[in-house]
Amino acid sequence: MNFTKRILVTGGAGFIGSHLLRLMVEKYPQYQLINGDALTYAGNLENLSDIESAPNYVFEKLDITNAAQVGVIFSKYACTDVIHLAAESHVDRSIENPLAFLTTNIIGTGVLLNQCRQSWNDDKSHLFYHVSTDEVYGSLGETGYFTESTSYDPRSPYSASKASSDHLVRAYYHTFQLPIVISNCSNNYGPNQFPEKLIPLMINNILHEKALPVYGDGTNVRDWLWVGDHASAIDTIFHNGELGETYNVGGDNEMKNIDLVKMLCKLVDKKLGRAEGTSEKTIRFVEDRKGHDHRYAIDASKIKHDLNWTPAVFPIEGFEKTVDWYLENTKWLNNVTSGDYQEYYKKHYT
């Protein structure tokens, strides 16, 4: 088949990447989607089992820090575009082991940029789309919003590595005129998120009647966005974003951590038929995260006005869908918490 685009999606076996791939594989049969993923603890091909035999989808085990491997994929598929999501993504892990974050998030991005420059020469019909985070802007007080012109002020090894990669991407645009676009998104939630992140961790612990660790006093604020809405924003920016531009993506849905955790307790208790208040009793205020950013809040007016994108899923609906998914997919939860999901790769791909 003659595909009109051959898009390398890095990190496609992860949380956001798998939702993006499903959307694009189904919506664009004329594109070939190449999922290049190293399958770290966060990458799980089970997330994509429903599309793995689609004629326009292919998986390639790929470590983006390995220039030779990246070169092979570019030669094999003549990639026309890259949507770059592969990263070490969990802040707590970056505090324990910063170097892994510098390697994957900075060097890995550099390797991809170099390959694109080499393969695409000066042809502007290509696109390197870098998926980044609102954490590059630092921490807000009680008021204000991050806009695209907010100065960078990353404060964790994770956010510093993402900020660094954003700068590299812009440097390739200004120095080499590589066609790029960047988006910086707020906290995503939904199915298939690894249960180290706040929402799935809490649902899993509530399910197993374990303590619910809330960092500090629980007043930190995050702006939550349904993962499918992030995928639709990426689709919109990929097709209509202006070269060299940055777009902030957010859910207009700020919540204090403690309020979010209490809401999850209520939702899960209700679904499991437990007495109201049962799980709330297991909330424990624990030692704060080092350098814990107080508040993130996104001003997404640019993507709304310029590209006509808006979140489609209301938070109440999204949180309920998320809880339902985890309660219905306890096998998935057990697999990823025990490491058994690596078996899926061995069985289906080797």
Cα separation, 91 vs 98, in Å, equals 9
Stretch that binds ligand NAD, among 26-34, 85-93, 114-122, 205-213 (CB under 6 A): 85-93
Within 238-257, the residues that bind ligand DAU by CB under 6 A are: 257
User: x/- contact string, 159-198, with ligand DAU (CB under 6 A)?
Assistant: ---------------------------xx---------xx
- The count of other CB atoms within 10 Å of the CB of residue 272 is 13
* 129 included as an active-site residue: no
Q: Are 130 and 85 contacting, i.e. CB atoms less than 8 angstroms apart?
A: no
Q: Are 233 and 185 contacting, i.e. CB atoms less than 8 angstroms apart?
A: yes
Cα separation, 106 vs 87, in Å, equals 9
Cα separation, 5 vs 129, in Å, equals 14
Residue 84's nearest CA partner among 232, 183, 230 is 183
Partner whose binding site includes residue 213, from ligand DAU, ligand NAD, none (CB under 5 to 8 Å by kind) = ligand DAU
Active-site annotation holder among 129, 145, 158, 296:
158
Q: Are 319 and 13 contacting, i.e. CB atoms less than 8 angstroms apart?
A: no
Cα separation, 48 vs 139, in Å, equals 34
Q: Among 24, 70, 83, 86, which residue sits at the site for ligand NAD (rule: CB under 6 A)?
A: 86
| Interaction of residue 62 with ligand NAD, rule CB under 6 A | yes
Q: Among 201, 263, 307, 327, which residue sits at the site for ligand DAU (rule: CB under 6 A)?
A: 201
* 209 included as an active-site residue: no
Within 6-35, the residues that bind ligand NAD by CB under 6 A are: 10-11, 13-17
User: x/- contact string, 111-140, with ligand DAU (CB under 6 A)?
Assistant: ----------------------xxx-----
Residue 309's nearest CA partner among 227, 255, 253, 250 is 250
| Helix (H/G/I), strand (E/B), else coil: 290 | coil
| Interaction of residue 42 with ligand NAD, rule CB under 6 A | yes
- The count of other CB atoms within 10 Å of the CB of residue 157 is 22
Cα separation, 86 vs 66, in Å, equals 13
Q: Where are the beta strands (DSSP E) in the chain?
A: 5-10, 31-37, 57-61, 81-84, 127-133, 180-185, 187-189, 212-215, 221-226, 246-249, 254-256, 283-286
Q: Among 130, 155, 222, 295, which residue sits at the site for ligand DAU (rule: CB under 6 A)?
A: 222
Residue 7: CB minimum distance to ligand DAU, A: 22
| Interaction of residue 205 with ligand DAU, rule CB under 6 A | no
Partner whose binding site includes residue 198, from ligand NAD, ligand DAU, none (CB under 5 to 8 Å by kind) = ligand DAU
Residue 307: CB minimum distance to ligand NAD, A: 18
Q: Which residues bind ligand DAU (CB under 6 A)?
A: 89-91, 133-135, 186-187, 197-198, 201, 213-215, 220, 222, 257, 289, 296
Catalytic residues: 134-135, 158
Q: Which residues bind ligand NAD (CB under 6 A)?
A: 10-11, 13-17, 37-40, 42-43, 62-65, 85-87, 89, 104, 108, 131, 133, 162, 185, 187-188, 194
